[in-house]
Chains A and B, each alone.
Chain A
Amino acid sequence: MSGSPKIPSSEITPEEAFLNRRFFMKSAISAGSTLATAGLYRTFAPRPEVKNNGAAITTVAEPALRTALAADEKLNSFTEIAGYNNYYEFSTDKSEVAAKAKDFITDPWSVQVGGLVQKPRTFDLAELLKFESVERTYRFRCVEGWSMVIPWVGFPLSKLLSMVEPTSAATHVAFETYYDIKQMPDSGSAGIDLPYVEGLRLDEAMHPLTLLATGLYGKTLPNQNGAPIRLVVPWKYGFKSIKSVVKITLMDREPPTTWSLANPGEYGFYSNVNPTVDHPRWSQARERRIGEVGSRETLMFNGYAEQVAHLYAGMDLKEDF
């Protein structure tokens, strides 16, 4: 201070106050930047665990089928199954769907079944839940390269189709998902045309493995898994197993399907799980089972070749992918 005699000492900020202010500023900037960085990370990081809010289903039968269809593979936990979902109407972030679909209204619900049938009719939720249900544990293989083992509750689609009596002209079945932008406000950025539509050949639809699922782990389906009723076709990539079905139409030609409309070169009508036919942007030879660290081999028809290979006899599966 002796070096600056022109400044009266009263105008010099005491060193202590200066250091205090500096210390305060630095602390504030450090804390602020840390909060901002950590906050940004948290915004994009996975959500906390989800709880099973489904009501108990009382009509589970045929549990013996369980071990036969996914060998002795370990079941995925409810948290994994209900916390990691592709349901683009709600979000394209798989860990966000559960939260975004929380208030989705699934009751009242009805499924309109028509087209080339003798007895078109609309089933309400109570009627759908009256079908004798079975528990089926299937492997579930997503086209993105991950898989799970899921204990579904539901009934074979063939039972419902038999009730409406398809005409002899019917060769295919078209499905449609419920769509309401008011309940699905984020659907605008999904990048696919909605409502979501899917389809099967009639023989695929009538196959005993093809299920209309109404629950999992012995309880009604969580919204994010396609409540109140969804299709499960275990030998095809997951996107064929259309969620929250409102319409089933019997047709005499191949119906349009959402993903092949969006990108015909990447997603075919059949979309059978096939380790020898790669997706143009990634290999399908292996898959990551959710809950496992490494990867495992993908099985032909997702391990259901014995039951379904005959449906595709004589077909070139590279051509009809």
Chain B
Amino acid sequence: MTFSSDTRFHRQLVVFNGLLPALLILLDAWRGKLGANPVEFITRATGVLTLVFLVITLMVTPLRKIYGWNWLLKQRRLLGLYAFFYGVAHLLTYLAYDRDWQLQTVIGDVYKRPFIAIGMFSFALMIPLAVTSTNAMIKRLGGQRWAQLHRLTYYITIGGVLHYYIIVKSDITYPLIFAIIVAVLLAYRVMMSLKKPEVLHPELRE
């Protein structure tokens, strides 16, 4: 068995490396090493990790097409679920420490602050994708509809980058790096769709 056919090993790699940042955050929290403002750090870290996993899922197709790394495809849904996992952690941190569980204040916050609204909206769009990430759901929806639905990832990622960009006080370096990467990844889709329409296995559509 070669590396590219060892699906079980790929799965182990993605499961472990996806969980590792969360484990390190917990370890640092337990050691009291999250810096002077742990809540701020956890909020920022989980938010950035959500974006990182969204970007990785968007990288799967170009990596397949350009380098022939087709084995990545079987891990894409798990990568997406990690984006959702860190998104949930990000939202919970906000609700617990920014809102002190005063959930009625969230509505006002969403209404008053565009970056919160954009973040919430992007998170809401992730829910149907997480729910439909099982094999059974792909079958139930039918490959084409499933693939169509999961193109929401584009809008979720754009929303996530915008959410990050707006909250930064003045140094836009990191949000800008994300914006450039996402722009390149989306431009790749546009270019490919202009080139030639192809018929593919449902999960191979993007």
Contact = CB atoms under 8 A, between A and B. Distances in A.
Interface of A: 22, 25-26, 29-30, 33-34, 37-38, 41-42, 44-48, 79-80, 83-84, 88, 92, 94-95, 144, 146, 189-192, 262-263, 278, 280-283, 286, 288, 290-291, 293-295
Interface of B: 1, 3, 6, 9, 12-13, 16-17, 20-21, 24-25, 28, 33-37, 39-41, 45, 48, 97, 100, 109, 112-113, 115, 166-167, 169-173
For the complex of A and B, 8 pairs with smallest distance between CB atoms: A46-B35, A191-B170, A84-B36, A92-B171, A80-B36, A37-B17, A191-B171, A37-B20
Interface SS, B side: helix
Contacts, number: 97
A37 B167 CA distance: 26
Given A44-B45, A146-B40, A191-B170, A30 B35 contact: no
Nearest to B13: A33
A283 B106 CA distance: 12
Contact of A281 (B48, B167, B171): B167
Contact of A34 (B17, B100, B169, B173): B17
Contacts of A47: 35
Contacts of B13: 29-30, 33
A26 to B, nearest CB: 6
A88 B171 contact: yes
B113 A191 contact: no
B93 to A, nearest CB: 12
Contacts of B35: 45-47, 83-84, 94-95
Contacts of A144: 169
Nearest to B10: A29
B28 A45 contact: yes
A288 B36 contact: no
15 contacts: A29-B3, A30-B16, A37-B21, A41-B24, A48-B33, A88-B171, A92-B170, A92-B173, A94-B37, A191-B171, A191-B172, A282-B113, A288-B97, A290-B36, A295-B100
A293 B39 contact: yes
